[in-house]
Structure 1
Amino acid sequence: MNSPNPDNPIFIVDDDPKILAAVETILRIAGFDNITAIQDSRDVIRTMERRIPGLVLLDLNMPHINGAYLLKSIRKTWPRIPVIMLTSNIEVDTAVKCMKIGAMDYILKPVDSDRLIKSVKQALDGGQALGQLSPSLHQELFSQIKKPAAFSAIITQDSQMHAIFHYVEAVAPSPQPVLIFGETGVGKELIGQCIHNLSGRKGKLVKVNVAGLDDNMFSDTLFGHVPGAFTSARNARPGLILQASGGTLMLDEIGDLALSSQVKLLRLLQEGDYLALGSDITRHSDTRIIASTNQDLWALEKQGKFRKDLIYRLSTHRLTIPPLRERLLDLPLLLDRFICQAADELDKPVPDIPKRLIEIMETHPFKGNIRELKSMVYDAMSRYQGGAISADLFNISIHTDHGVGASMSVDPGLPTLKQAANALVEKAMAHTGGNQSAAAKILGISQQALSKRLQKLREEE
């Protein structure tokens, strides 16, 4: 039988391996042969970032990240993907909650074969599986990547990033240098790692930050020295070029390299030759060079701080990684990933992410990009106590469209509207000795409205 979902797989998510096997078997017997089984709930979003499913069968009660939270995350980022919940809980309230969050159906365990097949077919037909829809640009680009696993460490749905992945795949086998531009914290080192992993080179990747290295330190670090090269040089030092033999040497902050060191690097790139300090024996290197910088090298060249010929040599292949503020589609994915990581490391529950928090973050300039976002999340999670994670746990500035000093802290020391309203209700109730009718008159609301507020207050306690 032909697969009913040949392009987009059905994801089955359950922490019980027996349930996974049983559901997968039922589906395969029915002819659904494009299936991905996931036992660890923490892998769901990561897997969806790499391949968009046509349908998700999602267990409700799982360790690490529960099904309800995952369902909310899926609905937020991939609203068209149908989700069917699997659970052994027969309470009506649970079913209603799942449907309100966005589940298309609700199936009890142990799973009835006929019920499952009927629900899956309805979801794929009625939900218009993604394979039947015109894919977005980022899906088209990512589907054409030959080795997506090589980019598994990079969380993105952005078409600019997927275009970079294509370029990386094309130039990775080349022995020529690669120059990576990008602001601090955008992931230049990760892209360098991808280039090396895809290069097929048998040697290892060696990284060094050249900022702050004077000429002697640069030569000693890269080229090494022989015994007696200088007063304290009792033993030989091989240098990073030799350590990266047959592999890749990544030079970070190349814009800060001293002019005298630039001459030596240029010779290495032109001829592949270098001298260890204190040695007159020329060594030849087969190391591939990757350089990265957050500076404009051509602007430095005009200032006489960087050699023009070195720019040309370094940039045989070059790419620019966009800042986080230009790939806001990735913001919810990154925020979710870092919150899950921080919760796991700090042994805290994974909180819900309110839409308002994402909206506020979208206004933040993120000059430190993804590195800054991760630091903000870990700081917020260290102070997180429970419930949805609130914006006042983050040190974020709200920027106006004018973009100048009209920024203000999200946490100015004032109570939120919800906190202020709750305080007024409590004060009115105390003032009237618990008389709801009198308290409602003081507050200017109906007794019924006050009763609802009091009920919510009791539920939140």
Structure 2
Amino acid sequence: MKSNFYPGFGVLLVDDEVPFLRSLSIALERRGGINHIYRCEDSREVMDIIAREPIGLVLLDLTMPHLSGETLLQRIVEEYPEIAVIIVSGLNQLETAVNCIRLGAYDYFVKTTEEDRLIGGIRRAIASQEMRLENQEIRRRFLTDTLERPEVFAGIITRDKGMRSVFQYLEAISTSSQSVLICGESGVGKELIAHAIHTLSNRNGPVVSVNVAGLDDNVFADTLFGHHKGAFTGADRARAGMIEQAAGGTLFLDEIGDLSQSSQVKLLRLLQEGEYYPLGSDRPKRIRARVVVATHQDLARKQQEGTFRKDLYYRLRTHQVEIPPLRQRKEDIPLLLEHFLAEAAAELGKTVPTLPRELPVLLANYAFPGNVRELRALAFDAMSRHKSRMLSMEVFRQALGQQDTPPVQEGEVEPDPFSQMPTLPRLNEVGDLLVAEAMRRALGNQSLAARLLGISQPALSKRLKKAAADDA
């Protein structure tokens, strides 16, 4: 199957009127962007085509020689229940329509129905089929715990199970034409995920990235849609927008949570209708790129507050992935550190240094508010200062010393460690618990444990000796 076909499965048009088949094919491609089309004018060949080709939707006439549409509908429903069937008939009879729905048809349209309504119904059927196929694929992948194209994710350094689940989900939705919403804190690698989605989809066009933060409505429209010559003062020549530049590929819109309300309306129409108007033009163009968006903001909270449109939010979250922050992926820290140090050493022309034993422990107790991007910056900074065989701990100690508690989001309740306790512990007992936990996190390293507690190493040593004496 060719890439850039929409939908991923075939749409079979069945009618004995050749002119109608031709006009419907043109309308589907021009108005609906539907180009994965098969045509059949002999009803006796329908079942053979379905058996031979990857058909997922059939548009079926009722009144045909040889085999009637009603007979074919019953056979398709019986032998291929996973295929959706839409009746497109010249019969405008309620009883006929009700009977077809009862036999298993997805929908019923009269040929004289206005074109927009017909194409809208077909697109809804396609979206429903895509969702069914994706759900099947997601169940299969999670049950078998497989990655069929692990090479696509080779550039994302991780051994985290949560990230593996994200990869499986991306593989399952790779053939979909629906937009994808990538959520996660700044620095977790959302753009890498967008590029992985593009690679998985086998599209032959490019990835075009646009950071929409700070774009006002006019700049947003011009950037995405382009303009014709003379569309506004200074438009001396026509310019193709990012949508057109991404044709056949992927349009990646970063920081989508910062869009103004008027720009949100334009994006919603683009996603709903699949078409747009370049500035200065009264003729629509079809979008031929998959849209992937990303944000570090909580869109659910923003739409509840009224700063982000609910209809756009629900349109975007058809496919949604949440990239976990680095503090929830402790196992990835040593892998990423090794990778970034090697990258920095190659760039700076230095030898990769030996790591101090306490460094992984130190980093495991750091919250990394800047996530993977911050760890990379620390590694490059440390390599730029590195002069001996052993990597200096100073850069990392400074980072740990500046660590702040991750901010509590508005509306969240800060966890209370005493809420589940029927009685409060004594003050000295709390101190002993803190010391024990710090020593556990520092893997017995008193120097690191003292830093976690905010006391000197001699003070910690004194407390440990006293605790040991009390136990004796």
TM-score with structure 1 setting the length: 0.56
In the TM superposition, structure 1's runs of 4+ consecutive aligned residues that sit over 4 Å from their partners are 140-143, 398-404, 406-410
- Which amino acid is 2:318 matched to? T
1:397 to 393, 397, 400: 400
Q: Once the 2 structures are TM-superposed, how far is the Cα of residue 403 of structure 1 from its aligned partner? A: 8.2
Counterparts of 1:373 and 1:148, CA distance in 2: 24
Show the 5 A alignment for 1:351-362.
351-362=353-364
1:250 corresponds in structure 2 to: 252
Contact kept in structure 2, 1:274 and 1:284, CA below 8 Å: yes
SS of equivalent residue, structure 2 residue 181: strand
Counterpart check, 1:184 vs 2:191: no
Distance 1:196 1:352, change over 3 A: same
For residues 258-298 of structure 1, give each alpha carbon's deviation from its aligned partner in whole angstroms, at most 9, with x where no partner exists.
Answer: 11000011000000111111111111112211110000011
Show the 5 A alignment for 1:144-293.
144-293=146-295
Counterparts of 1:400 and 1:345, CA distance in 2: 28
For residues 41-68 of structure 1, give each alpha carbon's deviation from its aligned partner in whole angstroms, at most 9, with x where no partner exists.
Answer: xxxxxxxxxxxxxxxxxxxxxxxxxxxx
Counterparts of 2:376 and 2:280, CA distance in 1: 44
Q: Once the 2 structures are TM-superposed, how far is the Cα of residue 400 of structure 1 from its aligned partner? A: 9.5
Contact kept in structure 2, 1:141 and 1:159, CA below 8 Å: no
Contact kept in structure 2, 1:179 and 1:319, CA below 8 Å: yes
Contact kept in structure 2, 1:364 and 1:398, CA below 8 Å: no
2:335 corresponds in structure 1 to: 333
Contact kept in structure 2, 1:398 and 1:409, CA below 8 Å: no
- Which amino acid is 1:156 matched to? T
2:366 corresponds in structure 1 to: 364
Q: Show structure 1 runs of 5+ residues with no match.
A: 1-139, 411-415, 418-461
Counterparts of 1:161 and 1:141, CA distance in 2: 16
1:445 corresponds in structure 2 to: none
Distance 1:267 1:400, change over 3 A: closer
SS of equivalent residue, structure 2 residue 358: helix
Q: Once the 2 structures are TM-superposed, how far is the Cα of residue 207 of structure 1 from its aligned partner? A: 0.7
Counterparts of 1:203 and 1:402, CA distance in 2: 43
Contact kept in structure 1, 2:227 and 2:240, CA below 8 Å: yes
Show the 5 A alignment for 1:295-310.
295-310=297-312
Question: What is the percentage of aligned positions where both structures have the same residue?
Answer: 51
Q: Once the 2 structures are TM-superposed, how far is the Cα of residue 399 of structure 1 from its aligned partner? A: 8.5
Contact kept in structure 1, 2:229 and 2:237, CA below 8 Å: yes
Report the more deviating stretch, 232-241 or 382-391.
382-391
Contact kept in structure 2, 1:361 and 1:396, CA below 8 Å: no
How many residues align structurally?
273
Counterparts of 1:381 and 1:409, CA distance in 2: 26
Q: Once the 2 structures are TM-superposed, how far is the Cα of residue 409 of structure 1 from its aligned partner? A: 12
- Which amino acid is 1:230 matched to? F
For residues 196-245 of structure 1, give each alpha carbon's deviation from its aligned partner in whole angstroms, at most 9, with x where no partner exists.
Answer: 10102221111110000000000000000001111110010100000111
2:63 corresponds in structure 1 to: none
- Which amino acid is 1:342 matched to? A
Distance 1:193 1:278, change over 3 A: same
- Which amino acid is 2:196 matched to? C
2:70 corresponds in structure 1 to: none
2:55 corresponds in structure 1 to: none
Show the 5 A alignment for 1:115-154.
144-154=146-156
Counterparts of 2:232 and 2:406, CA distance in 1: 54
SS of equivalent residue, structure 1 residue 397: helix
- Which amino acid is 2:385 matched to? R
Contact kept in structure 2, 1:208 and 1:252, CA below 8 Å: yes
SS of equivalent residue, structure 2 residue 232: coil
1:16 corresponds in structure 2 to: none
SS of equivalent residue, structure 1 residue 208: strand
Distance 1:142 1:370, change over 3 A: farther
Q: Once the 2 structures are TM-superposed, how far is the Cα of residue 351 of structure 1 from its aligned partner? A: 0.7
Distance 1:376 1:298, change over 3 A: same
For residues 354-374 of structure 1, give each alpha carbon's deviation from its aligned partner in whole angstroms, at most 9, with x where no partner exists.
Answer: 221111111111111000110
SS of equivalent residue, structure 1 residue 289: strand
RMSD: 2.8
SS of equivalent residue, structure 1 residue 396: helix
SS of equivalent residue, structure 2 residue 214: coil
Distance 1:325 1:313, change over 3 A: same
Contact kept in structure 1, 2:184 and 2:190, CA below 8 Å: yes
Counterparts of 2:406 and 2:209, CA distance in 1: 37
Contact kept in structure 1, 2:369 and 2:406, CA below 8 Å: no
Q: Show structure 2 runs of 5+ residues with no match.
A: 1-141, 408-433, 435-447, 452-456, 459-472
Counterparts of 2:259 and 2:328, CA distance in 1: 29
Contact kept in structure 2, 1:225 and 1:278, CA below 8 Å: yes
- Which amino acid is 2:315 matched to? R
Counterpart check, 1:347 vs 2:353: no
2:385 corresponds in structure 1 to: 383
Counterparts of 1:399 and 1:382, CA distance in 2: 20
Counterparts of 1:242 and 1:409, CA distance in 2: 58
- Which amino acid is 1:354 matched to? P
Counterparts of 2:349 and 2:282, CA distance in 1: 57
Counterparts of 1:143 and 1:400, CA distance in 2: 37
Q: Once the 2 structures are TM-superposed, how far is the Cα of residue 302 of structure 1 from its aligned partner? A: 2.1
2:316 to 302, 307, 314: 314
Counterparts of 1:141 and 1:360, CA distance in 2: 37
SS of equivalent residue, structure 2 residue 381: helix
Counterparts of 1:335 and 1:350, CA distance in 2: 11
SS of equivalent residue, structure 2 residue 240: coil
Distance 1:346 1:409, change over 3 A: farther
